[in-house]
Amino acid sequence: MLESSPDIWPPFETTLPSALGPPEVPALANMGLAQRRQPALLLVDDDPFMLGMQSRMLRSMGYTMIGTAESADAALALLGEGRAAVDVVICDLNMPGVDGLEFLRRLGDSDFRGSVIVLSGEGPRIIHAVQKLLAGRPLRILGALEKPAGRAVLRVMLDRWQTTIAPAPQRTLPTFTAADLQAAQQAEQWVLHYQPKVDLRTGALTGTEALLRWNHPEHGLVYPDGFIGLAEDCGAIGALTDWVLRAALAQLARWQEDGLNIHMAVNVSMENLRAPDFARKVGAMVRQRRLSPQDLTLEVTESRVMAISAAPLETLVRLRMQRFGLSIDDFGTGHSSLAQLRDVPFTELKIDRGFVHGARHNQLIRPMLEGSVGIAQRLGLQTVAEGVETEDDWTLLREIGCDIARGYFIGRPMAGDHLGAWLADWQAKQPRLIAS
């Protein structure tokens, strides 16, 4: 049964909005979630001392609706009986009897639709693994923290509840067909957006990456995840990449004529690299625009798990012999591995955002980020960090000597015409960011 900590006043039953009977505060089910300011919290921990300490802390942070349970069973009984509308369950992993993992599994099977923060003294690797385990559950995981959790991190997690509670309605896209792609190709419904890349030491704009969007007459802008796989499967990717290369090079030529001395990165599929004339074709396109091969970097991601085979490797070597830049994209994810780094003459290593954003305070990914930069430096490759979303990310990358950054902190993908305005904004804040 519910154990109410004596430290918490008023006690649980009256502080949490009841889902039964007349609610003090409207119950979860009866109101627009976004209207609520205060999440109702339920702390689950077998250690009464810890329960008391964490709830006192939460109270001092201004949270008033706090309940406690000293076992998973007590918490499940409480939530299952619908006696309390809980928004966020903060639970310990290591409990006797029903442990945190089983508790969360059962919670996922119940009709609980709130959020969860996992607390554990087990260290970052366990916490990370638990986060992965929970990813497939119908629970909203706000995060996992080492115990005891400090005020600052708890605040971040609970703020996350505020921002994720009313998620933007997900557009459900139809499944496109090969015929749709063909029609799009004929009507040229493609648009490129460009995302800036800047030098971490000087702050200078070094180039942009071209990101493809499908300007669909009914569905609006469709992002690459919605159609690149299909284009690869149905043989449309060849013509599509030709279009992307032509448009990106035309834009680059315009920027260079305007005096911007920058380069362009374009994503290519493994399928493109299988075409025997790909390297020759790209060479011809660049010459036609009077650009230099050094101005173009081709980014390669292996989307399927397999070793790079002879035909794509041949194309990559040909491209490199013409002095195009070659980038291993999403480095660190399952498909872009050390074996590819060993076998392909890459000039640039792009570290996936999963190893970049938040690395400063994450003891698990930070060494991997530092290690990746170290490997690239020793191999003489340029390093590009993706997913730089905060000033913390930016500062850490400067400290560890990464070369180039890209991400929302610097600029979102934008239409080519907007680059000038973005640059003016960026240059205004640049001095502060490269001050130390």
Contact 143, 155 (CB under 8 A): no
Q: Which helix (H) or strand (E) holds 208?
A: strand 205-216
- Smallest gap from residue 237 Cβ to ligand C2E (A): 6
Tokens in use for 274? 């299988």
Q: 384 or 400, CB closer to ligand C2E?
A: 384
The CB density around residue 281, as the number of other CB atoms within 10 Å, is: 15
Q: What b-and-e string marks burial along 319-357, b requiring 16 or more CB atoms within 10 Å of the CB?
A: bbeeebbbbbbbbbeeebbeebbeebebbbbbbbbbbbb
Q: 244 or 264, CB closer to ligand C2E?
A: 244
| List of residues contacting Ca ion (CB under 5 A) | 267, 299, 329-330, 386
- Smallest gap from residue 388 Cβ to ligand C2E (A): 6
Q: How far is CA 84 from CA 76, 112, 201, in A?
A: 11, 11, 53
Among ligand C2E, Ca ion, none, what binds residue 228 when CB lies within 5 to 8 Å by partner kind? ligand C2E
- Smallest gap from residue 317 Cβ to Ca ion (A): 20
Among ligand C2E, Ca ion, none, what binds residue 195 when CB lies within 5 to 8 Å by partner kind? ligand C2E
- Smallest gap from residue 231 Cβ to ligand C2E (A): 8
- Smallest gap from residue 226 Cβ to Ca ion (A): 16
Tell me, rounded to whole angstroms, the distance of Cα 271 from its chain centroid: 25
- Smallest gap from residue 147 Cβ to ligand C2E (A): 28
Among ligand C2E, Ca ion, none, what binds residue 243 when CB lies within 5 to 8 Å by partner kind? none
- Smallest gap from residue 290 Cβ to ligand C2E (A): 23
Among ligand C2E, Ca ion, none, what binds residue 71 when CB lies within 5 to 8 Å by partner kind? none
**Helices 48-60 + 151-164 axis angle, to 10:** 70
Contact 275, 238 (CB under 8 A): yes
Query: What does DSSP say about strands 348-351 and 325-331: parallel, antiparallel, or unpaired?
Result: parallel
Q: What are the strands of the beta sheet with 41-44, ordered from one edge?
A: 66-69, 41-44, 88-92, 115-120, 140-146
CA gap 236, 356 in Å, rounded: 33
Q: 70 or 302, CB closer to Ca ion?
A: 302
Q: 269 or 340, CB closer to ligand C2E?
A: 269
Contact 189, 217 (CB under 8 A): yes
Backbone angles phi and psi of 307, in degrees to 5: -75, 150
Among Ca ion, ligand C2E, none, what binds residue 384 when CB lies within 5 to 8 Å by partner kind? none
Instruction: Tell me which residue has tokens 């690239």.
Output: 376
- Smallest gap from residue 386 Cβ to Ca ion (A): 5
Among ligand C2E, Ca ion, none, what binds residue 365 when CB lies within 5 to 8 Å by partner kind? none
Q: 223 or 430, CB closer to ligand C2E?
A: 223
- Smallest gap from residue 275 Cβ to Ca ion (A): 19
Q: 70 or 299, CB closer to ligand C2E?
A: 299
Q: 36 or 350, CB closer to Ca ion?
A: 350
Backbone angles phi and psi of 317, in degrees to 5: -65, -40
Among ligand C2E, Ca ion, none, what binds residue 224 when CB lies within 5 to 8 Å by partner kind? ligand C2E
Instruction: Give me the helices (H) in 222-309, please.
Output: 228-233, 237-257, 270-274, 278-288
| List of residues contacting ligand C2E (CB under 6 A) | 195, 211-212, 223-225, 228, 244, 267-269, 299, 301, 329-330, 353, 386-389, 407-408, 413
Q: 141 or 356, CB closer to ligand C2E?
A: 356
Contact 303, 329 (CB under 8 A): no
- Smallest gap from residue 410 Cβ to ligand C2E (A): 8
Q: 83 or 406, CB closer to Ca ion?
A: 406
Among ligand C2E, Ca ion, none, what binds residue 184 when CB lies within 5 to 8 Å by partner kind? none
Among ligand C2E, Ca ion, none, what binds residue 407 when CB lies within 5 to 8 Å by partner kind? ligand C2E
Q: Which residue is nearest to Ca ion (CB)?
A: 299
Among Ca ion, ligand C2E, none, what binds residue 89 when CB lies within 5 to 8 Å by partner kind? none
The answer to whether the Cα torsion of 167, 168, 172, 178 is positive or negative is negative
- Smallest gap from residue 280 Cβ to ligand C2E (A): 19
Q: 181 or 211, CB closer to ligand C2E?
A: 211
Q: 207 or 413, CB closer to ligand C2E?
A: 413
Eight-class DSSP state of 170:
P
Measured in residues, the chain has a length of 436
Instruction: Give me the helices (H) in 309-418, please.
Output: 310-321, 338-343, 365-378, 391-400
Q: Which residue is nearest to ligand C2E (CB)?
A: 407
